[in-house]
């Protein structure tokens, strides 16, 4: 059974294909009467335009890619959901891709964009380095980075972004611990040299310590991979170091850390204070509730979508830095 095409519609309606096409695309220059008749026949025959043909002729698609970098966290899933909603309600198709590992990220993204003939691309997470500018130019479509760390010096004309100030937010968090008397503060970080979100947060940790005249001790820093399990393990290592507080760069790891602490017979926050990052809903439902730095996930998805739609029309890159919110829960206390 052949599917109906524009030609069939034209024949039945007794008009030319171009007229049908004009109706489909809501172009002017079609008599109201003709338009109505064509629309009715389209309805009757259950006609659905063939997107492949359309895209071929238009030499572009309506596909927007979401390229997810790194571990897929609860954090990302909220962003993706709000992104998809806003894009698809603007008649775009959303193609999803998870990139594993941190290597060749941008090459993989370009491959993805070219192959799928994307007209726009959203990066979720990861980092953008100065020496990757060239790739960005190669990719001649609007690109927006969400929750990505942008290295200094990258040409802001080449892309858009929706980010938070990781350094500032983390600095604020660690300072809070310091102000509350903590001096032996452990850190649960992530990534090995290539995870810049982790790096920015780490720098903030080091600088905050230094500003309080606390010597940085690398034994107090342990690495994870954003999972609860890794937070648990990292915390176990820190337990030997007699820390009084620990800063985990993700709520998931903070939760793992809390579990490790309790499992070893210690109490949060009496024995060890815990500070997370992300402000996930679930942190608020822990007992005790997690002190954390909250990122506006849904809002971030919305903004990324809005901006992408705008630059798809106007081509003027935008950069916005969203505010984080320091939420004091019950996992931190004065000593």
Partner DNA sequence: AACGTTTCTGAAAACGATTGCAGAAAGGAC
Partner DNA sequence: GTCCTTTCTGCAATCGTTTTCAGAAACGTT
Interface residues toward a second copy, by CB under 8 A: 48, 50-53, 55-56, 61, 66, 72, 74, 76-77, 80-81, 84-85, 88, 93-98, 100, 114-117, 227-229, 232, 252, 255-256, 258-259, 262, 281-282, 284-287
Spatial CB neighbours of 26, under 8 Å, sequence gap ≥ 6: none
Cβ 197 vs Cβ 249: under 8 Å: yes
Structure tokens at 193: 């040299």
- Partner whose footprint covers residue 90, from DNA, a second copy, none (CB < 5 to 8 Å by kind): none
Cβ 69 vs Cβ 76: under 8 Å: no
Size of the residue set binding DNA (CB under 7 A): 33
Closest of 123, 171, 62 to residue 300, by C-alpha:
123
Stretch that binds DNA, among 48-56, 78-86, 97-105, 263-271 (CB under 7 A): 48-56
Q: Using CA atoms, how far apart are residues 16 and 21, in angstroms rounded to an integer? A: 9
Residue 39 beta carbon to DNA: minimum distance, rounded to whole angstroms: 12
- Coil/strand/helix, residue 283: helix
Residue 121 beta carbon to DNA: minimum distance, rounded to whole angstroms: 20
Spatial CB neighbours of 97, under 8 Å, sequence gap ≥ 6: 65, 66, 67, 68, 112
Cβ 147 vs Cβ 125: under 8 Å: yes
84 versus 195: smaller Cβ distance to a second copy: 84
With CB under 7 A as the contact rule, the residue among 36, 40, 44, 53 that binds DNA is 53
Q: Which residues pair with 98 in a beta bridge?
A: 68
Instruction: Examine residue 31 and tell whether it contacts DNA (CB under 7 A).
Output: yes
- Partner whose footprint covers residue 300, from a second copy, DNA, none (CB < 5 to 8 Å by kind): none
Residue 265: count of CB within 10 angstroms of its CB: 7
With CB under 7 A as the contact rule, the residue among 1, 29, 89, 140 that binds DNA is 29
Residue 17 beta carbon to DNA: minimum distance, rounded to whole angstroms: 5
Residue 203 beta carbon to a second copy: minimum distance, rounded to whole angstroms: 28
21 versus 147: smaller Cβ distance to DNA: 21
- Partner whose footprint covers residue 293, from DNA, a second copy, none (CB < 5 to 8 Å by kind): none
Hey, what's the torsion of the CAs at 104, 106, 133, 299, to 10 degrees? -140
- Partner whose footprint covers residue 30, from DNA, a second copy, none (CB < 5 to 8 Å by kind): DNA
- Partner whose footprint covers residue 115, from a second copy, DNA, none (CB < 5 to 8 Å by kind): a second copy
Stretch that binds DNA, among 51-59, 184-192, 241-249, 299-307 (CB under 7 A): 51-59
Phi-psi region of 169 (alpha: psi -120 to 50; beta: other; left: phi over 0): alpha
Residue 60 beta carbon to a second copy: minimum distance, rounded to whole angstroms: 9
Q: How distant, in Å, are the alpha carbons of 67, 129, 201 from that of 106?
A: 10, 10, 23
Phi-psi region of 98 (alpha: psi -120 to 50; beta: other; left: phi over 0): beta
- Partner whose footprint covers residue 325, from a second copy, DNA, none (CB < 5 to 8 Å by kind): none
| Residues near DNA (CB under 7 A) | 2-3, 5-7, 10, 14-19, 21-22, 24-25, 28-35, 47, 49-50, 53-54, 56-59
């Amino acid at each position: 059974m052949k599917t109906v095409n524009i030609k069939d519609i034209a024949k039945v309606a007794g008009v030319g294909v171009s007229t049908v096409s004009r109706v489909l695309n809501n172009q002017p220059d079609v008599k109201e009467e003709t338009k109505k008749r064509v629309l009715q026949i389209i309805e009757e025959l259950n006609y659905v335009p063939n997107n492949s043909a359309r895209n071929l002729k238009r030499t572009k698609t309506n596909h927007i890619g979401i390229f997810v970098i790194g571990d897929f966290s609860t954090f990302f899933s909220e962003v993706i959901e709000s992104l998809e909603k806003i894009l698809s309600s603007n008649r775009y198709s959303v193609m999803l891709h998870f990139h594993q590992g941190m290597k060749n990220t941008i090459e993989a993204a370009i491959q993805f964009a070219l192959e799928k003939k994307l007209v726009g691309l959203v990066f979720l997470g990861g980092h953008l380095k100065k020496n990757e500018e060239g790739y960005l130019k190669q990719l001649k479509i609007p690109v927006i980075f969400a929750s990505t760390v942008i290295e200094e010096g990258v040409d802001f004309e080449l892309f858009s972004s929706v980010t938070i100030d990781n350094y500032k937010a983390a600095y604020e968090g660690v300072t809070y611990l310091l102000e509350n008397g903590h001096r032996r503060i452990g850190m649960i970080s992530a990534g090995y040299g290539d995870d810049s979100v982790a790096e920015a947060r780490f720098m903030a940790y080091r600088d905050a310590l230094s500003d309080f005249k606390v010597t940085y001790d690398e034994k107090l820093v342990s690495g994870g991979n954003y999972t609860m399990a890794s937070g648990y393990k990292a915390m176990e290592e820190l337990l030997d170091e007699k820390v009084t507080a620990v800063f985990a760069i993700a709520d998931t790891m903070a939760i793992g850390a809390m579990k490790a602490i309790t499992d070893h017979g210690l109490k949060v926050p009496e024995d060890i204070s815990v500070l997370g990052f992300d402000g996930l809903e679930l942190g608020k439902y822990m007992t005790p509730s997690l002190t954390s730095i909250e990122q506006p996930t849904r809002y971030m998805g919305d903004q990324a979508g809005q901006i992408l739609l705008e630059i798809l029309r106007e081509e003027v890159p935008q950069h916005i830095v969203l505010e984080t919110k320091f939420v004091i829960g019950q996992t931190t206390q004065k000593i």
